[in-house]
Amino acid sequence: MQLQIECNSSSSKSQHSCVLCSQVFQSTEARVIVCNDRGNRYGDICADCLKRGSDWIWHRLLSDRDRIRNHPKPLATATHRTAVPPSRKSQKSHLN
């Protein structure tokens, strides 16, 4: 898994569910998104989780990776196309 930082392209702030703590939060100017190595997105990380620091974030990502892979809302890829989740077999090989 990797983290991707992006400018929020939407002029209106949208709501997201944090992939780590499930807290619903409103997006700001920048977004931190959890992705796999293929660029498929699993979800955003809220400011409260970001404040806990990188060691805590990576520990949560590794300990909760099965739950994160099945996060309820697939997001658009970097090219703004709808993400198609990889098969379970390819997820295991790319996210372990």
| Tens of pLDDT, residues 53-94 | 989 998 998 887 777 776 655 444 333 333 444 444 444 444
Per the structure block, which two tokens stand in for 27?
């997006």
Domain spans, the chain: 2-81
How many whole angstroms separate alpha carbon 84 and alpha carbon 71?
Answer: 13
51: amino acid identity, one letter: K
The answer to whether 20 touches 49, Cβ cutoff 8 Å, is yes
25-35 pLDDT, tens digit each: 988 888 899 88
- Write down the pLDDT at residue 11: 63
Q: What is the pTM of this model?
A: 0.63
43 within 8 A of 6, measured Cβ to Cβ: no
Predicted pLDDT at 96: 45
- Indicate if the pLDDT at residue 17 is higher than 50: yes
Rounded to 10 degrees, what is the CA torsion of 63, 69, 75, 77?
Answer: 90
